[in-house]
Structure 1
Amino acid sequence: MTMNLEQLFDENKEQSLYGRYITLDSIESLLNKLNTNNQLEIIGKSVLDKPIYKYQIGAGKIKILLWSQMHGNESTTTKGLFDFINVLHNGSELAKELLEAFTFCCIPMLNPDGAKLYTRANANKVDLNRDSQDLSQPESRVLRATFENFKPDFCFNLHDQRTIFGVADSGKPATVSFLAPAYNEAREINDSRLKAINLIAGINEVLQRYIPGQIGRFDDSFNINCIGDTFQYLGVPTVLFEAGHFPNDYDREETRKYIFMALISSFKIINENDIVISKFDNYLSIPQNKVVFYDFIYKNIKINYDGIEIITNFASQYKEELIENQVYFNAYIAKIGELDDYFGHLEYDGNNALYSDNHKNVPELDQKADFYLKNITKFVNGLMIS
């Protein structure tokens, strides 16, 4: 692929979208601005009666259904999706090629209530990604109706994953992970799943040039209640995208670039029909996602337990907390003791310095990560500040 994906991203990045808190208010005016030829339609309402939008563009034979923010607090792929839509509007040869080959049906925010509340679930506290059989929620029914009416050739299920995931035991974060969901309990490979597998193998080849060793493969345990498994079961090649952590990028502004690159690459691969030769082995060679990270690890810390001093380690993890329409990353102590199998996105060696804090002078689970080492080095919200 000869195009410069970095440059393409820089030229088409949607500047009005930034950070983690992306709500319906963030995208509504943008959608109206992009509605140059009646591409925009309200296809349903959320539990709290908010509009769910579909943005459909292109006149090509190959039909792609993409949906983002099924989980309200997973917004990185929404940013990447708008960056991609900007490409379709830029008048370039690439735009022309894509619009002639494909019809894109995008649901940029399936769960507007969860987006506003910054929760995974919808306003009824239901995880929409476990509701593909019951269809108990209006948002689930909207997605299913769109799937049935549009009759896609490929489905792109766009998500975020937490900072706890690494690429196997490599010590590298899983910046982007993919999955071709199973369609049955036996996790067999049929033609439709193989198309998804081959597509992921192709995307992986491209992304390895930019983030070598930072691409993971999600666990493929079968759960028919998950939307990807259901659509794969119904015979449509489905790809799960998981936007993860890039070092020091808690706003996921760097990660959105790799989501954008993955989208552009996937459509080039499909259009060039580069998914006909089995790349199953290439797919399996992508290491599995593994829970191996904490946001912070503090090693070799001296703790005084009632006069008995021990040297140990502890970890803290950010909780994303919505306070007055802003997402704050607040660090809490998450594990104390043995951490040999874990990595920290930031690691500190205390060199046997004594721990103290403004409570009991011992770290406790779920306590804010505000403490001192040797009474002089101060940590606030997990970070060393002096």
Structure 2
Amino acid sequence: MIHDTVVHSEYKEPLVSGRYLTHDRLFSVLEKVYSDVGWVTEGRSVLGKKIPSLTFGNGTNRILMWSQMHGNESTTTKAVLDMFRFLRSKSTLSELLLRECTIKVIPMLNPDGGDAYTRVNANEVDLNRDAQLLGEPESRVLRSVFENFKPHFCFNLHDQRTIFNVGSTEKPATVSFLAPAHDAQRSISESRGKSMQLIVAMNKSLEKLIPGQIGRYDDGFNPNCVGDSFQMEKVPTILFEAGHAPGDYGREKTRAYIFMALLSVLEVVATSAIDTFERDDYFSIPENGKQYYDVLIHNPHRIAPKYKKQEVLAILFKEVLLEGSVVFLPVISRLEQGHSFFGHRAFDCESVTDLEELKRQAYWSTL
């Protein structure tokens, strides 16, 4: 496949990085780089912020993408901006995609949540539970674009927490996918089957980069979720979940993997190669487990008598916006030895080296 020759770093948008991507920063990029593309305002948020879309290409395959439906999930927005740079590269693949596809992207559906770094919008509503009620202006914007654009494929772009692992393995779920259900029985319709085939294609591509780190997201049916709702309307829809790569709390590595996934799936659509991938291979992708903590600390009784000898400290970081930056605050739990959890980092207080390293961590004073 042509996308295998693409090097992400050549297309990485230099104006955005890290976890906190605001409405102003997005518009700074659009105004500096994409004024000639003709991005349009599809509507406004609760607080009146513009919700833009950009359209690339003029092919017969119409693909709709949206990112930052949850305001604190910015990794896929960064990947989409990298994709924009690639689509303007005049490479063999970019020319193919522009010729065969029309790609409409809403890079930030929830700008109020983006600025506040919250999952919900300014009315404290989760937009991904508003697909039926359409009570929020942002939800109505997406619905209007869906109805007017009439996409053949929809890509719902999200981030997922650091808690997820692949199956029961110690591999983190760095990227996860879902072909949303269209009914409570989770049956396989024609549209859901196509979603599965496209996910199989992306999985095969990403396995070359992050073997064993691709998971399958829970497919419980909820008609209030946008992906399920669009699948109910017989439009193949895919949920993308950008997760954790080792040491990558800024989600810059995962950004590259989402970028590559997008190029791979677009190439499959552009070359009409969907049927070369087996639908049933979707079920060979392990489901996500929830067995990860950010940090495990073994033998904490060596540093404080309040801890029991058999205890293990488990830390999950809570992401908090503080003075314009995202900080990671530790939330500490206690586990018994013999637990079934993993840690993205692990320390043993009986090791002098581990203990010295632990003392250098920002959360040391909270232990």
Name the TM-score class by shorter chain.
Answer: over 0.9
Where 1:297 maps in the other structure, the secondary structure is strand
Whichever residue aligns with residue 359 of structure 2, its letter is K
Which residue is 1:235 aligned to?
Answer: 234
The answer to whether 1:347 aligns with 2:328 is: no
Alpha-carbon distance in 1 for matches of 2:146, 2:306: 64
Look up the equivalent residue of 1:381 and give its one-letter code: A
Aligned equivalents of 1:201, 1:292: Cα separation in 2: 24
Report matched runs for 1:356-367 at 5 Å: none
Match of 1:266 in 2: 265
Query: Aligned runs of 1:99-248 on 2, under 5 Å?
Result: 99-248=98-247
**Larger-Rg structure:** 1
Indicate the residue corresponding to 2:317 in structure 1. 318
1:313 and 1:328 map into 2 onto residues whose CA distance is 24
Give 1:378's match in structure 2, choosing from 339, 347, 359: 359
Task: Look up the match of 2:300.
Answer: 301
Supply the distance in 1 between the matched residues of 2:304 and 2:242 (Cα, whole angstroms). 41
Instruction: Kindly state the Cα deviation for residue 277 of structure 1 after the two structures are TM-superposed.
Output: 4.8
Partner of 2:76: 77
Q: 1:309 to 1:37 in 2, by over 3 A?
A: closer
**Do 1:300 and 1:311's aligned partners in 2 also have CA atoms closer than 8 Å?**
yes
**1:281-300 matched pairs, under 5 angstroms:** 281-300=280-299
Between 81-90 and 326-335, report the one with greater CA deviation. 326-335
Counterpart in 2 of 1:361? Answer: none
Number of matched residues? Answer: 364
Aligned-pair identity (%): 48
How far does the alpha carbon of each residue in 1:63-93 deviate from its partner, in whole angstroms, 9 at most, with x for none? 0000000000000000000100111111222
Query: What are the ranges of 5 or more consecutive residues in structure 1 without an aligned counterpart?
Result: 354-371
* Alpha-carbon offset, residue 95 of structure 1: 1.8
**Matched-pair contact (CA < 8 Å) for 2:3–2:260:** no
- SS of 2:269 mapped into structure 1: helix
Pairing 1:24–2:19 present: no
Contact 1:47 1:137 survives alignment (8 Å): yes
Residue 378 of structure 1 aligns to which amino acid in structure 2?
A: K
Question: Could you tell me how far apart the structure 1 residues matched to 2:306 and 2:332 are?
Answer: 22
> Does structure 2 conserve the Cα–Cα contact (< 8 Å) formed by 1:303 and 1:309?
no
**1:252 paired residue number:** 251
Deviations 1:294-338 (A, max 9, x none): 000012332799899533211011111101111111222133435
Structural RMSD (CA): 2.3
SS of match in other structure, 1:211: coil
Corresponding residue of 1:56: 55
1:269-309: CA deviation from partner (whole Å, max 9, x where unpaired) = 11222212562221100000111100000123327998995
TM-score by length of 1: 0.89
Q: From the two aligned structures, give the one with the greater strand fraction.
A: 1
| Equivalent residues of 2:268, 2:274 under 8 A apart | yes
Q: Distance in 2 between matches of 1:218 and 1:170?
A: 15
Which deviates more, 271-280 or 139-148? 271-280
Name whichever structure is richer in helix by fraction.
Answer: 2
Aligned: 1:39 with 2:20: no
Q: Quickly say closer, same or farther: Cα 1:205–1:305, change in 2 above 3 A.
A: closer
TM-score of the two chains, using structure 2 as the length reference: 0.94
User: Higher relative contact order by CA 8 Å / sep ≥ 6: 1 or 2?
Assistant: 2
The 10-residue stretch of structure 1 (309-318 or 271-280) with the greater mean CA deviation from structure 2: 271-280
2: distance between equivalents of 1:54 and 1:199? Answer: 24
